[in-house]
């Protein structure tokens, strides 16, 4: 199979590497050096220009938001071939995805939204969970490709359903990270050793991915790697809030989480990692985790 892959960022780069083990993968990236390195090191083919990615059976986009995907669709629309499957692995906006699917359908191109979860480590190890929105037939076609990047691939529903559940599940994670960090800060202030507080949390009902994996390294070892941009997490929670709004759902926790993450992004800036919201919680309390 010939696959065009657009967007070799933290997630896209390793995903395209796995695909290149079995398929002919044509890579394009805005910053060309990354695509050149991919071709050099991982046996993919460097697209001479963006349009060259369209001469393929499958196109994959892995970009920050639906806005960038839309820009790429605009540019590729004159070049796409009928019968192509477009897989958008971006954590995007389901409403935009439906419009994109309709635009591509006019050209005979099928579209699925297929965002991923599992972080950069999941992309590196091909253990991602991938949630797909689209028809059953297109899901089967997409699964045949995506199985090289992920371990669990689930059909979420019709077009947009993958993007919808992705932003909702990330909102759950955001609220959990925030609440866990808040309660750990109170424990510390009360005089309980942070390591002990985490050990008890992880042996009890407050246990989560945040308490087991995400927070200990940051709070105990003071290592704050950039693995998932806060800007991307904020974008996901804002999309989730807009879904709730559109459905007239009463979701005060979601609204509060969105406000806290947007405030944190404004405070920390575009370069921050999402777990750095814990620093904002500390600052709100006139302290730090050091």
Residues interacting with ligand NDP, by CB under 6 A?
7-12, 29-31, 34, 62-64, 68, 71, 90-91, 116-117, 119-120, 227-228, 232
Helix (H, G, I), strand (E, B) or coil at 265: helix
Min. distance of Cβ 185 from ligand NDP in angstroms? 25
**Given its phi and psi angles, is residue 95 left (phi above 0), alpha (psi -120 to 50 degrees) or beta?**
alpha
Name the residue nearer to ligand NDP (CB basis): 231 or 284: 231
List the catalytic residue out of 107, 151, 166, 195.
166
To ligand NDP, the closest distance from the beta carbon of 121 in angstroms equals 8
144 Cβ contact partners less than 8 Å away, ≥ 6 residues apart: none
279 in catalytic set: no
- Closer by beta carbon to ligand NDP, 21 or else 67: 67
Query: Closest Cα to residue 18, out of 125, 115, 139?
Result: 125
Q: Which residues of 201-228 are buried (b: 16+ CB within 10 A; e: fewer)?
A: beeeebebebbeebbbebbeeeebeeeb
Q: Where are the alpha helices (DSSP H) in the chain?
A: 12-19, 32-42, 66-76, 94-105, 119-125, 136-146, 161-190, 194-202, 209, 215-221, 230-246, 252-268, 277-284
Name the residue with the smallest CB distance to ligand NDP. Answer: 9
Round to whole Å and give the CA distance between 251 and 94: 19
Minimum distance from residue 143 beta carbon to ligand NDP (Å): 18
CB of 60 to ligand NDP, least distance (A): 12
Nearer to ligand NDP, 68 or 206 (CB): 68
| Angstrom distance (rounded) from CA 146 to CA 156 | 15
Q: Between residues 57 and 68, which has the closer beta carbon with respect to ligand NDP?
A: 68
Query: Which residues are part of the catalytic machinery?
Result: 166
């Amino acid at each position: 199979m010939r696959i065009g892959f657009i967007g070799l960022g933290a997630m896209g780069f390793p995903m395209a590497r796995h695909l290149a083990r079995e398929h002919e993968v044509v890579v394009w990236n805005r910053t060309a050096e990354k695509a050149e390195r991919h071709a050099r090191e991982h046996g993919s083919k460097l697209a001479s220009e963006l349009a060259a990615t369209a001469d393929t059976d499958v196109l994959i986009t892995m970009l920050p938001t639906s806005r960038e995907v839309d820009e790429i669709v605009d540019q590729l629309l004159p070049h796409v071939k009928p019968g192509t499957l477009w897989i958008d692995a971006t954590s995007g906006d389901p409403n935009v995805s439906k419009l994109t699917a309709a635009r591509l359908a006019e050209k005979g191109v099928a579209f699925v939204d297929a965002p991923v979860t599992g972080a950069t480590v999941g992309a590196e190890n091909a253990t991602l969970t991938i949630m797909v929105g689209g028809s059953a037939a297109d899901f089967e076609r997409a699964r045949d490709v995506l199985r090289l990047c992920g371990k669990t691939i689930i059909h979420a529903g019709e077009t947009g359903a993958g993007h919808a559940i992705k932003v909702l599940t990330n909102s759950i994670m955001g609220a959990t990270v925030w609440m866990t960090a808040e309660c750990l800060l109170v424990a510390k202030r009360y005089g309980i050793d942070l390591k002990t507080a985490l050990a008890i949390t992880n042996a009890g009902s407050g246990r989560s991915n945040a308490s087991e994996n995400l927070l200990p390294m940051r709070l105990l070892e003071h290592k704050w790697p950039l693995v998932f941009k806060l800007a991307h997490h904020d974008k996901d929670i804002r999309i989730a809030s807009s879904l709730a709004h559109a459905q007239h759902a009463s979701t005060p926790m979601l609204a509060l989480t969105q406000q806290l993450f947007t405030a944190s992004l404004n405070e920390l800036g575009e370069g921050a990692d999402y777990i750095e919201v814990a620093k904002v919680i500390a600052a709100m309390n006139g302290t730090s985790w050091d």
